[in-house]
């Protein structure tokens, strides 16, 4: 969108359709249409006057990286500019929303294994590029995995990214703890949480990927209801989350009435046996069956176990994991497969149109009628 200029954008070219807030309530997110092309986009508008110096530096780091990165699996920034006291960041509109949106609204007991394979493969391609560029992402989670209308997977959440390059040389480890990361703690690796002299590196992202795999498969993130201190102790003591299915939930729990069978933490005691089985990790379609009466493949279990190794030295790189046997089930391109796999969900493609007005004051009055969205997870 190189023809997207400051004045035309701010006054006339965008029709704001709905909004939400984020970043300590200093950020407004609008869905909009770029009138010359009809393309839908997302606009992040950040009130710079209310930002602290730390927040401004935090945002500058993200914007610097956005200009540096160019990869088909990383969310692109179409335009960045300042309008009066606001920073405007324009990104493509992701019509399926985030993977977190999908499991919150449609796949509450988790996605199918094949769907997850396509999603994680896209994330790994992005991480391979990020790590090759000398960065640690530090915020891999389902809400930062976005899916476009044509089924393309994008990794976002560059705000916490950190460079290993210092004074022209690549550092071996990082000691910095991510700012504004309270909501990301369940995804952090033990070494990030531990904050000791040994530090951490790109392999902490691989651990977060394993947690995200459990999040997509189980319908909720492991450790989600656990106090932060207890979660830290569990991770440091080697407690490992797992995929919830017939091999990890005892048969007596699977025979109980439909519920999460006390497995909300996503922590497994060990392999179980028996129970109704459903191949390829497909959730049960019977209304009376336990939602975890399914069996994921041994390849999927092995993939998650590799990612969640307590010792970061034992975790494979993103490049190695891309070749894992778990991904051999991928036979088609994501743009061909994901729209089918995500059914009955359909991409958001139509909006109630609002007539544009030709002045900044008209735009301000337009916002008063916008419908509110919960965009805590729309953290581009």
Domains 6-95+350-369 and 99-341 share a fold: no
Q: Which range, 30-39, 132-141, 234-243, 353-362, is most confident?
A: 132-141
The pLDDT value given to residue 167: 79
380 against 37, higher pLDDT: 37
DSSP string, 225-280: TS-HHHHHHHHHTT--B---STTTS-HHHHTSSSS-TT-TT-B--S----S---GG
Q: Which of 77-91, 198-212, 246-260 has the highest mean pLDDT?
A: 198-212
**Which tokens sit at 218?**
């189980």
Average the pLDDT over 93-102 and give the result. Answer: 94
The angle formed by the CA atoms of residues 378, 379 and 380, to the nearest 5 degrees, is 100
pLDDT for position 302: 98
- pLDDT for 264: 54
Read off φ and ψ for residue 159, nearest 5 degrees. -65, -30
**Kind plus residue range of the DSSP H or E element containing 82:** strand 79-83
Helices (H), the chain: 6-8, 53-68, 99-105, 113-132, 190-194, 203-218, 228-236, 251-254, 298-307, 318-322, 334-341, 360-367
**CATH fold for the domain made of 6-95+350-369:** Phosphorylase Kinase; domain 1 (3.30.200)
Tokens 């951490």 identify what position?
Answer: 200
Instruction: Examine the pLDDT at 368 and tell me if it is beyond 70.
Output: no
Q: How far apart are CA 118 and CA 328, in angstroms?
A: 10
Summary mean pLDDT of the chain: 81
Cβ atoms of 119 and 130 within 8 Å: the answer is: no
pLDDT of 212 over the 50 cut: yes
Q: Which residue has the higher pLDDT, 176 or 28?
A: 176
- Which of the four pLDDT bands, split at 50, 70 and 90, describes residue 252? confident
Q: Exposed (0-12), middle (13-18) or buried (19+): which is 249, by Cβ within 10 Å?
A: buried
Q: What is the pLDDT of residue 350?
A: 53
In this model, does residue 285 exceed pLDDT 90?
A: no
Q: Is it the case that residue 117 has pLDDT exceeding 90?
A: yes
State the pLDDT confidence band at 246, using cuts at 50, 70 and 90: very high
- 22 token code pair: 């984020």
Q: Highest-confidence range of 62-66, 188-192, 254-258, by mean pLDDT?
A: 188-192
**Mean pLDDT, to the nearest integer, of 21-41?**
76
Q: What's the mean pLDDT in 182-187? A: 91
Strands 86-92 and 79-83: antiparallel
Among 1-10, 67-76, 250-259, the least confident range? 1-10
Q: What is the mean pLDDT of residues 43-69?
A: 88
Q: What is the pLDDT of residues 300-356, one digit of tens each?
A: 999 999 999 999 999 999 999 999 999 999 999 999 999 999 999 999 865 544 444
Question: Residue 345 has what pLDDT?
Answer: 93
Query: pLDDT tens digit string along 225-244?
Result: 889 899 999 999 989 999 99
Alpha-carbon gap, residue 347 to 313, rounded angstroms: 40
Over residues 178-193, mean pLDDT: 90
Question: What does the pLDDT look like over 311-322, one tens digit per residue?
Answer: 999 999 999 999
Please report, for the chain, the start and end positions of each structural domain, with discontinuous segments joined by +: 6-95+350-369, 99-341
Are β-strands 165-166 and 162-163 bridged in parallel, bridged antiparallel, or unpaired?
unpaired
Q: What is the predicted pLDDT for the residue at 140?
A: 98
The structure's pTM equals 0.83
Look at residue 289 in the predicted model and tell me its pLDDT.
Answer: 74
CATH of span 99-341: 1.10.510.10
**How high is the pLDDT of residue 251?**
86
pLDDT one-digit tens code per residue, 22-31: 555 678 888 8
Q: What is the pLDDT of residue 95?
A: 93
Range with lowest mean pLDDT among 114-123, 154-163, 268-277: 268-277
């Amino acid at each position: 969108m190189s023809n997207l200029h400051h004045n035309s954008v701010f006054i006339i070219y965008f029709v704001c359709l709905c909004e939400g807030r984020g970043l300590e309530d200093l950020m407004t997110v609008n869905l909009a249409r770029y009138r010359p092309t009809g393309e839908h986009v997302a606009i992040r508008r950040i009130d710079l006057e209310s930002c602290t110096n730390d927040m401004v530096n935090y945002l500058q780091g993200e914007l610097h990286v956005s200009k540096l990165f160019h990869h088909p699996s990383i969310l692109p920034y179409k335009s960045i500019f300042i309008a009066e006291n606001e920073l405007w960041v324009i990104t493509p509109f992701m019509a399926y929303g985030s993977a977190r949106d999908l499991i919150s609204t449609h796949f509450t007991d988790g996605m199918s294994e094949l769907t997850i394979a396509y999603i994680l493969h896209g994330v790994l391609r992005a991480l391979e590029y990020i790590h090759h560029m000398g960065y640690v992402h530090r915020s891999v989670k389902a809400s930062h995995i976005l899916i476009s209308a044509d089924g393309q997977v994008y990794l976002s959440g560059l705000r916490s990214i950190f460079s290993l390059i210092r004074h022209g040389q690549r550092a071996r480890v990082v000691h910095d703890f991510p700012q504004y990361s309270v909501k990301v703690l369940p995804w952090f690796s033990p070494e990030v949480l531990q904050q000791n002299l040994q530090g951490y590196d790109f392999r902490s992202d691989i651990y977060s990927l394993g947690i995200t795999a459990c999040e997509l498969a189980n319908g909720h993130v492991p450790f989600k209801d656990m106090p932060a201190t207890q979660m830290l102790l569990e991770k440091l003591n080697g407690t490992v989350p797992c995929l919830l299915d017939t091999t990890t939930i005892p048969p007596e729990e699977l025979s109980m009435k439909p519920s999460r069978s006390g497995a909300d933490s996503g922590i497994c005691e060990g392999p179980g046996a028996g129970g109704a089985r459903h191949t390829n990790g497909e959730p049960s379609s019977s209304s009376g069956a336990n939602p975890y009466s399914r069996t994921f493949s041994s390849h999927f279990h092995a993939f998650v176990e590799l990612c969640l190794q307590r010792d970061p030295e034992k975790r494979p790189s993103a490049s190695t994991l891309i070749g894992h046997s778990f991904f051999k089930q991928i036979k088609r391109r994501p743009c061909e497969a994901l729209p089918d796999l995500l059914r009955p969900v359909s991409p958001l493609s139509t909006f109630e149109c609002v007539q544009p007005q030709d002045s900044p004051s008209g735009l301000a009055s337009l916002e008063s009628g916008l419908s509110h969205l919960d965009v805590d997870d729309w953290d581009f």
